[in-house]
């Protein structure tokens, strides 16, 4: 792995901050021929790296050794920091509260966008179930015929259109929006659907 890719120095510094020895192989401890392996392939958008010697790096890519995981990296750093804190008689603190706050905010925004996108689809599905009496397969076909799609996604900086509604992503959306009882639970909460359905010529 080339060590001069854009941003890699920043992530090496990040490893140092969380207590990872960037001059030794994370797998075998060898200090020679150190390369930096992307845990998630660089081509798939991965940015975090771990230090590996050339031999271990080669084995990772040839599949002869179990791949190192983010979890192993975090556990090693956590253990080291905890030991250092205990040895120094200090209170052990882990993580950055500011990062946690940003993460909570991002999840809140993601949850809101998910609800804004899927709620109208689920309400229409509930109307089709409650007022028209369609089966799940028939409802999915009708939703797609009406132009409903899953949320668009960003791929390499470009927005890709959403895909067709399927029974699987419909059920997942019900769970994620808190309707554990699925369409039957939401159908009990909707009313006045006849007007909407008539307007849409269902």
Q: For residue 92, tell me if it sits in a domain.
A: no
3-state secondary structure the chain: CCCCCCCHHHHHHHHHHCCCCCCCCCCCCCCCCEEEEECCCHHHCCCCEEEEEHHHHHHHHHCCCCCCCHHHHHHHHHHHHHHHHHHCCCCCCCCCHHHHHHHHHHHHHHHHHHHHHHHHHHHHHHHHHHHHCCCHHHHHHHHHHCCCECCCEEECCEEECCCECCHHHHHHHHHHCCCCCHHHHHHCCCCCHHHHHHHCCC
Q: What's the pLDDT score for residue 117?
A: 93
Q: What's the pLDDT score for residue 139?
A: 94
Q: For residue 77, tell me if it sits in a domain.
A: yes
Q: How many domains does one find in the chain?
A: 2
Last residue of a domain, one of 29, 56, 87: 87
Last residue of a domain, one of 36, 52, 87: 87
Q: What's the pLDDT score for residue 98?
A: 60
Q: What's the pLDDT score for residue 66?
A: 46
pTM above 0.75, yes or no: no
In terms of domains, do 161 and 128 share one?
yes
Q: For residue 3, tell me if it sits in a domain.
A: no
Write out the chain's pLDDT in tens, 202 residues: 444 455 677 778 878 888 888 888 988 888 888 888 888 776 677 778 888 888 888 888 765 444 455 566 677 777 888 888 888 888 877 666 665 566 677 788 888 999 999 999 999 999 899 888 899 999 999 999 999 999 888 777 787 888 999 999 999 999 999 988 889 888 887 765 543 444 444 4
Q: For residue 53, tell me if it sits in a domain.
A: yes
């Amino acid at each position: 792995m080339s060590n001069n890719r854009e941003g890699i120095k920043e992530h090496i510094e990040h490893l140092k901050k969380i207590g990872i020895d960037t001059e030794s192989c994370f797998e075998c401890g060898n200090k020679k021929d150190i390369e930096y392996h992307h845990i998630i392939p660089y081509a798939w958008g991965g940015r975090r790296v771990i230090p590996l010697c050339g031999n271990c790096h080669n084995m990772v890519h040839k599949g002869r050794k179990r791949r190192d995981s983010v979890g192993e990296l975090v556990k090693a750093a956590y253990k080291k920091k905890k030991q250092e804190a205990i040895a120094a008689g200090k209170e052990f603190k882990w993580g950055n509260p500011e990062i946690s706050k940003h993460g909570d905010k991002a999840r809140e925004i993601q949850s809101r966008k998910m609800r804004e996108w899927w709620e109208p689809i689920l309400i229409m599905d509930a109307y089709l179930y409650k007022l028209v009496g369609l089966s799940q397969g028939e409802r999915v076909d009708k939703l797609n015929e009406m132009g409903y799609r899953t949320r668009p996604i960003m791929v390499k900086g470009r927005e890709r259109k959403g895909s067709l509604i399927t029974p699987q992503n419909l059920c997942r959306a019900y769970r994620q929006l808190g309707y554990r009882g699925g369409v039957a639970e939401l159908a009990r909460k909707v009313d006045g659907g006849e007007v909407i359905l008539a307007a849409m010529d269902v």
